Amino acid sequence: MEQVPRRRQSLAVALPGTLTLDIPHLREKTSRIGLVARILATFRVDQAIIYPDQKNQKALEESKLFEKVLRFQETPQYLRKHLFRMDPELKYAGVLPPLRSPHHPNREEPRIGQLREAVVVSSGLNSRVDAGFNSTVEIRSSLEKSERLTVRITRTSPMLEGEQADMSRLHIYWGFKVNRETRSLGEIIKGGHQDLSISTSKKGADIRQAMERLREKWRTSSQTLLVFGSPREGVPEILARESASISELDFNLNAIPTQGVETVRTEEALLGTLAVLNLLEED
170-181 pLDDT, tens digit per residue, is: 889 999 999 999
Level-2 CATH architecture, domain 10-100+175-282: 3-Layer(aba) Sandwich (3.40)
Question: Distance between CA atoms of 254 and 275, rounded to whole angstroms?
Answer: 13
Level-2 CATH architecture, domain 115-167: Beta Barrel (2.40)
pLDDT per position as a tens digit, 78-120: 999 999 999 999 999 999 999 999 899 888 899 999 999 999 9
Element (DSSP H or E) covering residue 281: helix 266-282
pLDDT per position as a tens digit, 227-280: 999 988 999 999 999 999 999 999 999 999 988 988 899 999 999 999 999 988
Cβ pair 90, 68 in contact under 8 A? yes
Terminal alpha carbon distance of the chain: 24
Nearest-Å Rg of the Cα atoms of the chain is: 20
- pLDDT band at residue 283, thresholds of 50, 70 and 90? very low
Closest CA to 239 of 226, 249, 253: 249
Task: Tell me: pLDDT of 2 over 80.
Answer: no
Cβ pair 206, 257 in contact under 8 A? yes
Average pLDDT, the chain: 94
Q: Where exactly are the structural domains of the chain?
A: 10-100+175-282, 115-167
Closest CA to 177 of 67, 46, 271: 46
Pairing of strands 47-51, 137-139: unpaired
pLDDT of the residue at 126: 95
